[in-house]
């Protein structure tokens, strides 16, 4: 099973029914829309995990190996950027930290012929992904050992699990229908109801029903009562198996409902009831694991979570305690790696920053649940299989190669063009700068770099961001944008339509 991650907003552990996801789906989404809107400002202080002497210089905004991003360069990038990209501090930091720095680190690795394909480094960077790959089959196997009742005729009659099997006939009533038109539709339905019996119902549905179920004789399958609108669900709940309802009015129109008998419902009911049973068993297993782990959330956990979400790469080494699980400390670094493993991590991190503390703490609790499950699996000697590691390493290498190609820094091309490492580094840096110019101009999309690749890069090569210099960047970019906009407006053709009051 390839490394996977639940796509639920607040479910950071893998359920047994989740789809398989490989490394290529776990990118940090840097679509151009992230540059066209300013991120919500925050007064919280960021983790100082990237401290570097060179970044302390006021004129340097970011460092990536030997490359430095100056105030002037970043100010020009933003000032000359597409008009919809604001010259704000948030966007300046995004460009420096999430675009310029990782792009130049990738280019540096390419120039030095560094494939980054060290197994230990990759496994460490993708630790949360590997845990996800372990948790899926672990939960599935654990639930399979628990008793699950698929149900019987008695449980179906009693609607165990709130499950029903039914078919219906629907005549739609347009929202703009007059009382007279509505009455005519109801009269037609009364005629159909007079003919409806257990043996004729399916044929009447095929001939008369006005929704997609008509082709199946009105069959709606097996479903929870709450899936239907309330008038429909209430009418259905009053029926015994085999009975047919009177005419039921909902927002969609007029219905006649038949609750299927046991012979018709049996196969689908037992299948869905068993699935519900598995889900309940899984929830019970997780709850028991959580209770045994005695999870305790730190007092300042919500604020810490928002700091992590602001810059999880910087938080990846933070020892700040955020919770205890089975008496052991869970740190900000543990949480950061889980966030980075999410396929929609950029959206998730934005949600965490914008959500009230109560929601943030719910999400943190689910991460702690996940940690408890991981520790339980490890205690039971469940390990990641060789095929998972092989798939991870393969996807990692493919992602690096694809990123190099997109940035125009393929190692072979650099080797053919530069005799020395220094030559290749300079050429690679120029390629990245040209690519970034296009991104800010809105003519190409940013590169999506998978989180494990980012982590390996920042672990291996020196990098830093100096937030203190960003105010000067914004000042310079704003002045330049005004000049650029003025020049653009001056170049526009003058209107040929006379203005009011003008000859």
Alpha helices in 223-356 (DSSP H): 230-237, 262-293, 301-310, 312-315, 332-340, 345-354
DSSP assigned state of 345: H
Q: What is the pLDDT of the chain when averaged over all its residues? A: 85
Residue 309 has pLDDT above 90, yes or no: yes
Confidence at residue 384, expressed as pLDDT on a 0 to 100 scale: 84
Rounded to an integer, what distance in angstroms lies between the CA atom of residue 304 and that of residue 47?
A: 10
Residue 314 has pLDDT above 60, yes or no: yes
122, 228, 248, 257 from 234: Cα distances, Å: 55, 9, 10, 11
CB atoms near residue 83 (< 10 Å): 11
- Cβ contacts of 466 within 8 Å, gap of 6 or more: 55, 56, 57, 58, 60, 61, 62
Q: What is the mean pLDDT of residues 100-105?
A: 97
Rounded to an integer, what distance in angstroms lies between the CA atom of residue 73 and that of residue 472?
A: 12
Tokens of 292: 């045994």
27-36, 81-90, 328-337: segment of lowest average pLDDT:
27-36
Q: Which of 170, 163, 192 is nearest to 249 (CA)?
A: 170
Phi, psi dihedrals of residue 11, rounded to the nearest 5°: -140, 75
CB atoms near residue 296 (< 10 Å): 12
DSSP assigned state of 259: E
Q: What DSSP element (H or E) covers 34?
A: helix 33-36
- Strand 296-297 and strand 253-259: the pairing is unpaired
Rounded to an integer, what distance in angstroms lies between the CA atom of residue 250 and that of residue 266?
A: 28
Q: Which of 131, 190, 162, 140 is nearest to 16 (CA)?
A: 140
Residue 172 has pLDDT above 80, yes or no: yes
At which residue do the structure tokens 């305790």 appear? 296
Confidence at residue 485, expressed as pLDDT on a 0 to 100 scale: 76
Q: Quickly state the pLDDT bin for 187 (edges 50, 70, 90).
A: very high
Please give the model's pTM, rounded to 2 decimal places. 0.70
Q: What is the mean pLDDT of residues 141-157?
A: 89
Rounded to an integer, what distance in angstroms lies between the CA atom of residue 255 and that of residue 309?
A: 49
- Strand 253-259 and strand 248-250: the pairing is antiparallel
Q: In this structure, are residues 50 and 315 in contact, taking their beta carbons and an 8 Å threshold?
A: no
28-32, 300-304, 467-471: segment of lowest average pLDDT:
28-32
Residue 34 has pLDDT above 80, yes or no: no
Q: Quickly state the pLDDT bin for 176 (edges 50, 70, 90).
A: very high
Q: What is the mean pLDDT of residues 244-253?
A: 97
Rounded to an integer, what distance in angstroms lies between the CA atom of residue 410 and that of residue 405?
A: 5
Alpha helices in 116-260 (DSSP H): 119-125, 127-144, 153-157, 179-195, 201-208, 230-237
Length in residues, the chain: 503
Q: Which of 169, 173, 242 is nearest to 206 (CA)?
A: 169
Rounded to an integer, what distance in angstroms lies between the CA atom of residue 80 and that of residue 5?
A: 39
Rounded to an integer, what distance in angstroms lies between the CA atom of residue 382 and that of residue 376?
A: 9
Confidence at residue 230, expressed as pLDDT on a 0 to 100 scale: 96
Compute the C-alpha angle 3/309/80, nearest 5°.
Answer: 105
Tokens of 426: 């300079």
Confidence at residue 19, expressed as pLDDT on a 0 to 100 scale: 28
Q: Quickly state the pLDDT bin for 498 (edges 50, 70, 90).
A: low
């Amino acid at each position: 099973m390839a490394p996977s991650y639940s796509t639920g907003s607040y479910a950071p552990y893998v359920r047994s029914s989740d789809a398989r996801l490989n490394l290529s789906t776990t990118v940090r989404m840097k679509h151009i829309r992230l540059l066209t809107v300013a991120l919500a400002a925050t007064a919280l202080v960021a983790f100082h995990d990237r401290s570097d002497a060179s970044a302390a210089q006021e004129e340097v905004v970011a460092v990536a190996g030997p490359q430095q991003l100056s105030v002037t360069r970043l100010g020009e990038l933003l000032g000359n950027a597409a008009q919809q990209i604001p010259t704000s501090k948030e966007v300046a930091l995004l460009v420096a930290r999430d675009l310029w720095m990782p792009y130049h680190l990738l280019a540096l690795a390419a120039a030095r012929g560094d494939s980054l394909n060290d197994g230990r480094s990759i496994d460490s960077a993708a630790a949360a992904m590997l845990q996800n790959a372990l948790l899926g089959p672990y939960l599935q196997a654990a639930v399979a050992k628990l008793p699950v009742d698929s149900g019987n005729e008695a449980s179906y009659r009693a609607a165990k699990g709130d499950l029903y099997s039914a078919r219906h006939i629907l005549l739609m009533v347009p929202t703009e229908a007059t009382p007279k038109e509505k009455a005519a539709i109801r009269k037609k339905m009364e005629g159909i109801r007079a003919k409806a019996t257990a043996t004729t119902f399916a044929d009447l549905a095929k001939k008369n029903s006005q929704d997609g179920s008509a082709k199946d004789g009105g069959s709606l399958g097996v479903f929870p009562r709450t899936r239907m609108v309330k008038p429909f669900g209430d009418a259905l709940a009053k029926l015994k198996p085999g009975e047919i309802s009177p005419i039921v009015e909902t927002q969609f129109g007029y219905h006649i409902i038949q609750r299927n008998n046991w012979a018709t419902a049996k196969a689908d009911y037992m299948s869905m009831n068993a699935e519900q049973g598995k889900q309940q068993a899984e929830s019970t297993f997780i709850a028991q694991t959580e209770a045994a782990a005695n999870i305790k959330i730190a007092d300042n956990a919500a604020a810490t979570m928002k700091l992590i979400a602001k810059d999880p790469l910087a938080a990846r080494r933070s020892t700040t305690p955020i919770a205890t699980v089975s008496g052991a400390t869970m740190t900000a670094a543990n949480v950061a790696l889980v966030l980075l493993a999410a396929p929609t991590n950029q959206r998730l991190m934005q949600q965490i920053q914008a959500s009230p503390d109560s929601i943030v703490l719910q999400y943190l609790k689910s991460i702690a649940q996940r940690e408890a499950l991981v520790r339980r699996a490890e205690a039971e000697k469940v390990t990641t299989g060789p095929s998972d590691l092989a798939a991870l390493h393969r996807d990692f290498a493919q992602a690096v190669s694809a990123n190099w190609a997109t940035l125009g820094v393929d190692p072979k091309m650099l080797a053919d063009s530069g005799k020395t490492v220094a030559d290749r580094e300079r050429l690679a840096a120029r390629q990245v700068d040209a690519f970034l110019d296009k991104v800010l101009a809105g003519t190409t999309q940013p590169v999506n770099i998978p989180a494990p690749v980012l982590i390996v890069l920042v672990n291996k090569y020196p990098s830093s961001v100096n937030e203190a210099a960003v105010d000067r960047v914004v000042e310079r970019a704003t002045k330049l944008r005004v000049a650029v906009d003025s020049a653009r407006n001056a170049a526009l053709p003058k209107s040929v339509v006379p203005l009011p009051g003008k000859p």
